[in-house]
Chains A and B, each alone.
Chain A
Amino acid sequence: MTPFDYHRPETLAEAFRIAGAIPGARYVAGGTDMMVRIRSGRERPGALISLGRIDTLSRIELGSVTQIGARTTIGQVLEHPELTAAYPLLALAARPFASVQVRNLATVGGNVCNASPAADMAPVLLALDARVEIEGPQGTREVPLDAFFKGPGQTDLAPREVLTSIVLEPPRPEARSCFLRRSRVGMDIALTSVAVHFQLAGNRLTRPRVAAGAVAPCPLRLRAVENLLEGRAVDAALLDEAARLAEGEIAPITDIRASASYRRRLTSTLVRRAITAACEESR
């Protein structure tokens, strides 16, 4: 493993200063992606800047908006009963995530910033209309999560910027949701994942959100499916049409885990099942 220097700033200002002073310095949170990349030689950072001692990055606040600090681990999400009660989707994605050991290290912010097409928190955060708060030497800005992903491993972050928190709207009344994920074996990255979130007014869906992972260069919202579902009552014909539209919105690849056509079929099936399961979810 190529050696690197390791910095542990206690404030964001100090982190920005170090990032500006050392060419090739990279931020690290839980290190579960970064350390693996360094060990394989895919990444040779000039230095690592740990975000672990910047306390403001690990708070969780529920209020007029909900803030989940970027440094919150997947394990800490599961250990926060108010948060998972307010947003059951977060727990659905966090529970099967990797292993206990990895969940205790891996952060929500790292999952998003790593921008893997298969990142498990991404579809559920997209379905929750998440925004990300970003801070850099020039100030703070907020971006909708679906504008943050730019490609595999690529985000909207400028070189010294840090993702500070995930911002969610308060939980919606009569909200229904579901997250389905398929992988070859338990601890393997998703072949396909689908998250849905909507409100039920009588039997009609309002503000539907449907997002998918591992089937395009970035995790993405399936907007044609969302538009179809708006204001409609679910029946077999609607589910058929939703499944058909979902296949048209994704661009899966063939790799060692599965073929593109298999991923396409799987996605349309998961879309159909997730909508059905969310409608049937009792509160």
Chain B
Amino acid sequence: MNVECTLEVNGSSTTLQVAPSARLIDVLREDLGLTGTKEGCGNGECGSCTVLLDGRPVNACLLVALEVEGRAVTTIEGLLGPGGKLSHVQQAFVETGGIQCGFCTPGMIMSATALLEATPAPSDAEIRDALVGNLCRCTGYAQIIESVRAAAELIGPGSGGETPR
């Protein structure tokens, strides 16, 4: 039997009926139509389902949707600025070639966004650690790391990052 669930996604609150065992990724994709978040492995290994929960990256495939009631969820769609303007991290991935097939990209960008929010000028080691849970089978990672470096440059020193909460 479905139950009522109120989710705060990308700054707006929605009440819907969900199966108690529905995962956050199911509700985002199937009920809210937010298909930017991808399901790769479904087991917490690949990071393609990464979303921010109260600003911190988590695997949407491991979370029961009901568990996140009352907490702020941010998906890749939530990073767009007014008029569909790409965020600095999104822009940097486009310009630096951090995207090939694009399947891992939303997850990569969510992880990178959270990293730059906490650590505006990360070292390469910090970038790698932040992306350990995001697999990419196309790029070989070099361009992705470069994209994150480029995003840090775009955001610039002294800025408080850009994660919408």
What residues on A are CB-neighbors of B63 within 8 Å?
31, 35, 105
A interface: dominant SS: loop
Cβ A39 vs Cβ B21 within 8 A: no
Asked if B11 lies at the interface with its beta carbon under 8 angstroms from chain A, I say: no
Count of A-B residue pairs with CB < 8 Å: 82
Q: Does B132 contact A99, Cβ atoms closer than 8 Å?
A: yes
- Given A4-B21, A6-B21, A186 and B132 touching (CB < 8 A)? yes
Q: Are B133 and A39 in contact (CB under 8 A)?
A: no
Is the CB of B31 closer than 8 A to any CB of chain A?
no
B150 within 8 A of A: no
A254 within 8 A of B: no
Of the candidates B59, B62, B66, the one whose C-beta lies within 8 Å of that of A6 is B66
B133, A99: Cβ atoms closer than 8 Å: yes
What distance in Å separates the Cβ of B101 from its nearest Cβ neighbour in chain A?
21
A101: which of B64, B67, B133 is its contact (CB, 8 Å)?
B133
Bound Cα distance from A283 to B121, whole angstroms: 28
Closest 4 pairs (CB-CB, A-B): A99-B133, A6-B20, A3-B21, A101-B133
User: Is residue A277 contacting chain B, with contact meaning CB distance below 8 A?
Assistant: no
* A/B interface sample: 15 pairs, CB < 8 A: A2-B21, A6-B64, A30-B62, A32-B62, A35-B23, A39-B43, A48-B21, A50-B67, A99-B44, A99-B134, A100-B56, A101-B111, A102-B59, A105-B58, A105-B59
Q: In the assembly, what is the distance between CA of A12 and CA of B122, in Å?
A: 41
Contacts of A35 in B (CB 8 A): 23, 44, 61-64
B62 to A100, Cβ gap below 8 A?
Answer: no
Instruction: Report the separation of the CA atoms of residues A174 and B10 in the bound assembly, to the nearest whole angstrom.
Output: 49
B80 within 8 A of partner (CB) = no
Number of residues on chain A facing chain B (CB within 8 A): 27
Contact with A along B35-70 (1 / 0, CB 8 A): 000000011110100100100111101111011000
* Contact assessment for A31 and B20 in the assembled complex, using a CB-CB cutoff below 8 Å: no
How many angstroms from the CA of A251 to the CA of B66 in the assembled complex?
42
Structural contact, B21 and A1, CB atoms closer than 8 A: yes
What's the least CB distance linking A109 to chain B, in Å? 16
Q: How far is the CA of A3 from the CA of B53 in the complex (A)?
A: 24
Task: Confirm or deny: A255 has a beta carbon within 8 angstroms of a beta carbon on chain B.
Answer: no
Interface size class on chain B is 20 to 34
Q: B129 in the interface, Cβ–Cβ < 8 Å?
A: yes
Contact bitstring A28-42, B, C-beta under 8 A = 1, else 0: 101110011001000
Which A positions have Cβ atoms within 8 angstroms of B? 1-6, 8, 28, 30-32, 35-36, 39, 48, 50, 52, 75, 98-102, 104-105, 186-187
Closest Cβ of chain B to A30, distance in Å, is 8
Shortest beta-carbon distance, A136 to chain B, in Å? 24
Q: Is B130 interfacial (CB-CB < 8 Å)? A: yes
Q: How far is the CB of B56 from chain A (nearest CB, A)?
A: 5
Decide if B64 touches A50 in the complex (CB within 8 Å). yes
| Distance to closest chain B CB from A55 (angstroms) | 13
Given A5-B20, A186-B132, 6 other A-B contacts at CB below 8 A? A32-B62, A35-B23, A52-B67, A99-B133, A101-B44, A104-B58
Cβ contact within 8 Å between A100 and B133: yes
Residues of A near B67 (CB, < 8 A) are: 6, 8, 31, 50, 52
User: How close is B109's CB to chain A, nearest CB, in angstroms?
Assistant: 13
Contacts of A48 in B (CB 8 A): 21, 64
